[in-house]
Amino acid sequence: MRFVTLFPETENIHLTKDVGMIAYTMYRDFGYKSRVVCYKNGEYPYLDKEVKGLELDFIKRYTGNPTLDSLVYLVKNSKKIDVLHVFHLNKRSIGWAAVYKLINRKGKVYLKLDTADHAIEKQEFQPKTVKNRLRIFLVKRCDIISIEVKNIYNCIRDKWPTRIEYIPNGFYSAKRKIIQYEQKENILCTVGRIGTKQKATEVLLEGFKRAAGFIDGWQLRIIGPIEKDFEKYIHEFLRRNPELKERIKFIGPIVDKDELEKEYNQAKIFCLTSRWEGYPIVPLEAMKAGCFIISTDLDAAWEMTDNKKYGDIFEIDNYEELAALLKRYCHDEPLLRKVCGEVQEYAYNTYSWTTIGKKIHDFLKESCLVTGSLR
């Protein structure tokens, strides 16, 4: 089948996230003819190695408006698409689905909600107004709708006028590797856009500062691009805490996936201090490398840690609570060793893209058999 992920904003970095990995997995593991449709947003080196075989189809910038230019693409190409994959419950994605279905009645639409926002639970689907009737009509144009967060799935699955599936995000992995605990060092790591309000890197720094005197020999490695405004904070933090200069390393962004894997492989604990997230991928990458996860209280964190079996959770913005967890777990060598093996098995069984792709493939196959449009 011809599978198209429509996401005009796709850049190289998106190719090893859900935007690229769903289409790539459908191609690699299930024989779909897959492509990602987007504007040309720079170069795409991941096409040569990480997602080799995945095709990109570039949208022409007729207007510079991604919604309108994508509609033009669909008008021209809908009959050549068997499955249209779009993101987010918004006007543009639902509009794309409606136009696609109008042109290709036998085609299938897969809407990935891609959200951890509980506001989606309040979506109104009672046909009391013209607006709600239209919303119901458009949502029903989607053959598969999935949500990443189980708590939200449990709340909306019986309220929506169409079937909802629970399908989490996954992690990129070229092939399965077993990481031995002996490969690891006394390292805490984090990966993300350092210094943004969302990532709350200052909470990580303050938590580590308060724990540092109790966890001798442990190093904090902070990986990712640093926001320019945050550089002043870092400078002032290290000026006030000179004893931490050799224990906190700002690595910068790592584009090469093999190099990033080396960072995960040598770390024992991964810290996520975000104030909000959808379904973050970097903790999943750390889990498949055997890292214990310490995260803020996000819905996804409870799922990723299997209700704290493979990690622990602290209150958002509470660096004192984070410090207490660091003091506790950095000294619990037997637990870290035990989790190292178990969390890898859990990650591959639950969050590998092959596992996730199988769910999508089965749902699509079921939908096609029901409507008789299997090609």
3-state SS of the chain is CEEEEECCCCCHHHHHCHHHHHHHHHHHHHCCEEEEEECCCCCCHHHHCCCCCCEEEECCCCCCCHHHHHHHHHHHHHHHCCEEEEECCCHHHHHHHHHHHHHCCCCEEEEECCCCCHHHHHCCCCCCCHHHHHHHHHHCCCCEEEECCHHHHHHHCCCCCCCEEECCCCECCCCCCCCCHHHCCCEEEEECCECCCCCCHHHHHHHHHHHHCCCCCCEEEEECCECHHHHHHHHHHHHHCHHHCCCEEEEECCCCHHHHHHHHHHCCEEEECCCCCCCCCHHHHHHCCCCEEEEECCHHHHHHCCCCCCEEEECCCCHHHHHHHHHHHCCCHHHHHHHHHHHHHHHHHHHEHHHHHHHHHHHHHHHHHHHCCCC
Q: Is the pLDDT assigned to residue 10 strictly greater than 80?
A: yes
Q: Amino acid identity of 233?
A: Y
Tell me if 153 sits within 8 A of 166, measured CB to CB: yes
Q: How confident is the model at residue 375 (pLDDT cuts 50, 70, 90)?
A: very low
User: 10-14, 89-93, 257-261, 370-374: lowest mean pLDDT where?
Assistant: 370-374
State the Cα–Cα distance between residues 86 and 142, nearest whole angstrom. Answer: 10
Residues 115 and 44 both lie in one domain: yes
Q: Is the pLDDT assigned to residue 166 strictly greater than 50?
A: yes
Residues 116 and 188 both lie in one domain: no
How much is the average pLDDT of 65-81? 97
How much is the average pLDDT of 78-99? 93
Instruction: Please give the residue range of the domain that contains residue 356.
Output: 2-170+352-371
Percentage of the chain beyond pLDDT 90 is 79
Residues 148 and 222 both lie in one domain: no
Bridge partners (DSSP) listed for residue 37: 6, 57
Q: Is the pLDDT assigned to residue 125 strictly greater than 80?
A: no
Instruction: Return the pLDDT at 61.
Output: 96
Query: Is there a domain that residue 185 lies in?
Result: yes
Residues 187 and 307 both lie in one domain: yes
What is the tally of structural domains in the chain?
A: 2
Burial 222-246 (b: 16+ CB within 10 A, else e): bbbebeeebeeebeebeeebeebee
Residues 208 and 123 both lie in one domain: no
Residues 202 and 155 both lie in one domain: no
Query: Is there a domain that residue 31 lies in?
Result: yes
Q: How confident is the model at residue 374 (pLDDT cuts 50, 70, 90)?
A: very low
Residues 341 and 239 both lie in one domain: yes
Query: Is there a domain that residue 175 lies in?
Result: no
Residues 295 and 239 both lie in one domain: yes
Residues 92 and 203 both lie in one domain: no
Structure-model confidence comparison of residues 22 and 129, the more confident one: 22
State the Cα–Cα distance between residues 143 and 52, nearest whole angstrom. Answer: 28
Q: Is the pLDDT assigned to residue 339 strictly greater than 80?
A: yes
Residues 155 and 210 both lie in one domain: no
Query: Is there a domain that residue 232 lies in?
Result: yes
Q: Amino acid identity of 338?
A: K
Query: Is there a domain that residue 176 lies in?
Result: no
Q: Amino acid identity of 364?
A: L
Residues 206 and 164 both lie in one domain: no
How much is the average pLDDT of 361-366? 90
Q: Express each pLDDT in 319-337 by its tens digit.
A: 999 999 999 999 999 999 9
CATH of the domain at 263: 3.40.50.2000
Query: Is there a domain that residue 335 lies in?
Result: yes
State the Cα–Cα distance between residues 137 and 201, nearest whole angstrom. Answer: 43
Count of other CB atoms within 10 angstroms of residue 56: 16
Residues 238 and 325 both lie in one domain: yes
Q: Is the pLDDT assigned to residue 38 strictly greater than 70?
A: yes
pTM: 0.87
Query: Is there a domain that residue 211 lies in?
Result: yes
Query: Is there a domain that residue 26 lies in?
Result: yes
